[in-house]
Amino acid sequence: MRLLSGDARDALLTPLGDAGRSEEVARRLGSAIALGLIEDGEQLPSESQLAATLNVSTVTLRDALADLRQRGLVETRRGRGGGSFVRMSQAALAALSRERLGEIGVSDLRELGDLHAMAAGTAARLAAERASATELARLRDLAARMGDARDATDLHRLEGRYYIEMAAAAQSARLTRLEIEIQGDLAQVMWRLRPDRSAGSVAAERAAVVEAVARHDGDRARALTEAQVAEDTRLLIEDHITMTRSTAS
Amino acid sequence: MTTTQAPDPALAISEAIEGIFATVAEVRRVTLARHAAATAAGRRFADEDVRALAPAYVDLLRAPGEVAVGLGIILEPGTLADHPLRLEWWQWSPQRDAPVPLEVDLHPDSVGFYDYAAAEWFAVPRRTRSRHVAGPYVDVHGTDGYMLTFTLPMEVDGRFLGVAGADVLVTRFESVVLGRLGSHAVLANEEGRVVVSTSSRWITGCLLPDDELPPAVPLPRLPWALVEAPA
């Protein structure tokens, strides 16, 4: 099944506020690629259509596309059947996320982590009361597949989907939409696979939450989720500090 | 002489449901008519037939008082001559003032493959050859809304062609029936999940504990049951 579609896709491709800088456009499109909203090989809408969707001028959009082309994330073919096509590149996504992580402040990362802990923690607690057998099976499957993730992008996609499915299992459309938005923000900074965070350990941690949900132990499901989000946030902040210090020196 | 009749929850629910299924039946009717025309012309049902049906679906969705937020058809794999998998689904989107088509990835090899044949609203009517309601569920893959999906099987000479269906927001369904339910009436689906209720203890989305509740009254031709919740 598609990771996200319909309005989820719209949520990330919403009109940009104020200046609508081309860097921001490039980043948005980058997170959409990282989350699987735009897939490898998919053709982007026409420049005028995409500029209108994002509410930026075609000049700004062209700059962003030129940037993405240079990074190797977009390929433009001329002639019949031509247009701009997405190219999935681990290295380019990692570079984009490193830049973003360098720019963003510690307090922004902390707030994103706080909001995520709240949304994901509450979702896990409510799912322990409300998840059906089908929903539990889906969550178990996602947790297991995280252990077999091929690369960083694959792992983050599965994680994103795990959190979104958990919110859906809580029977809350609002929590689900909030989680989709948070995953869009996280996708801008989380494309690296950390050596201290193997796919196997991530999978085991998520599986423990799913088992707490299955036992209707809402308190434990929430506590585990909050601890996991807090640890992920701490690692992101550590990355940010390391990166900023190495750039400064 | 006038007497105040106690509201009949089963009647209120079945009226609401029949109204929604009437729309779905109309989706099915126009689709099968087009299918019959193709057959009469001596050719297989094709992508162009499905595309030609879109205006009819949009008109149904735009009809005054229509409860559904999305509707269309989902075809059994292999039904079309030219497309192994095909759905034609139109829906209202919060940001737009006209219905838009639902776009999904139908390449089986892709990570984002929308495996509709496995979805409850497709698989159940295919198996049972009768109507079905899936939900309430958060529709992560289509609308992000809290949804009920009503589907009818489409058949020609006993051959399954797919389903015709409609999405109804749980809130909208509730607003249609809530006023006509008695006190402490709980409508639950086959998983024991509450669809709509007049008890603040057992609300929409809750799972009913199967050991604590009085026997439920099953509703005809639906995977739903009515429970008189303890006060």
What's the average model confidence in pLDDT over B73-95? 91
Rg for chain B (alpha carbons), in Å? 19
Q: How far is CA B199 from CA B77, B176, B186, B223, in A?
A: 43, 17, 7, 21
pLDDT of residue A245: 83
pLDDT band at B47 (very low <50, low <70, confident <90, very high): very high
pLDDT of residue B80: 94
B4 has a chain A CB within 8 A of its CB: no
A5 with B113: Cβ contact below 8 A: no
Distance CA B92, CA A189 (A): 33
A7 with B115: Cβ contact below 8 A: no
What's the average model confidence in pLDDT over A196-223? 93
pLDDT band at B110 (very low <50, low <70, confident <90, very high): low
pLDDT in tens, B132-155: 999 999 988 777 789 999 999 999
What's the average model confidence in pLDDT over A156-168? 91
pLDDT in tens, B52-75: 999 999 999 999 999 999 999 999
B144 with A8: Cβ contact below 8 A: yes
Q: Which residue of A has its CA nearest to B207?
A: A130
Mean pLDDT of chain B, nearest integer: 89
A6 with B138: Cβ contact below 8 A: no
* Lowest-confidence pick of A106-110, A140-144, B180-184, B224-228: B180-184
A8 has a chain B CB within 8 A of its CB: yes
CB < 8 Å to B144, chain A: 6-8, 173, 176-177, 180
Residue with tokens 């559904």: B68
Q: Which residue did the predictor score with more confidence, A164 or A15?
A: A164
Bridge partners, B219 (sequence order): none
Mutate which: B110, B113, B138, vs A, most A CBs within 10 A? B138
What's the average model confidence in pLDDT over B191-200? 92
pLDDT in tens, A12-21: 566 665 555 7
User: What SS3 string covers chain B?
Assistant: CCCCCCCCHHHHHHHHHHHHHHHHHHHHHHHHHHHHHHHHCCCCCCHHHHHHHHHHHHHHHHCCCCCCCEEEEEECCCCCCCCCCCEEEEECCCCCCCCEECCCCCCCCCCCCCCHHHCHHHHHHHHHCCCEEEEEEECCCCCCCEEEEEEEEEEECCEEEEEEEEEEEHHHHHHHHHHHCCCCEEEECCCCEEEEECCCCCCCCCECCCCCCCCCEECCCCCCEEEECCC
What's the average model confidence in pLDDT over B78-104? 89
How close does chain B come to A134, measured CA to CA in Å? 10
CB < 8 Å to B196, chain A: none
CB A163 within 8 A of CB A172: no
Whether the pLDDT of residue B29 is over 70: the answer is yes
How close does chain A come to B50, measured CA to CA in Å? 21
Q: How many CB pairs under 8 A join A and B?
A: 83
Q: Which residue did the predictor score with more confidence, A229 or A4?
A: A229
What's the average model confidence in pLDDT over A156-184? 92
Whether the pLDDT of residue A175 is over 90: the answer is yes
Residues 6+ apart with CB under 8 A from B127: none
pLDDT of residue A3: 39
Tokens for B114, please give them. Answer: 């929308």
Mutate which: A4, A171, A179, A216, vs B, most B CBs within 10 A? A171
* Lowest-confidence pick of A154-168, A215-229, B203-217: B203-217
pLDDT band at A195 (very low <50, low <70, confident <90, very high): low
A130 with B103: Cβ contact below 8 A: no
pLDDT of residue A249: 61
Whether the pLDDT of residue A61 is over 80: the answer is yes
What's the average model confidence in pLDDT over A210-235? 96
Q: What percent of chain A has pLDDT over 90?
A: 39
What's the average model confidence in pLDDT over B22-45? 97
CA angle B48, B53, B58 (to 5 degrees): 140
CB < 8 Å to A6, chain B: 91, 93, 102-103, 141-144
CB B125 within 8 A of CB B166: no
What's the average model confidence in pLDDT over A85-107? 85
How close does chain B come to A245, measured CA to CA in Å? 38
Distance CA A130, CA B106 (A): 31
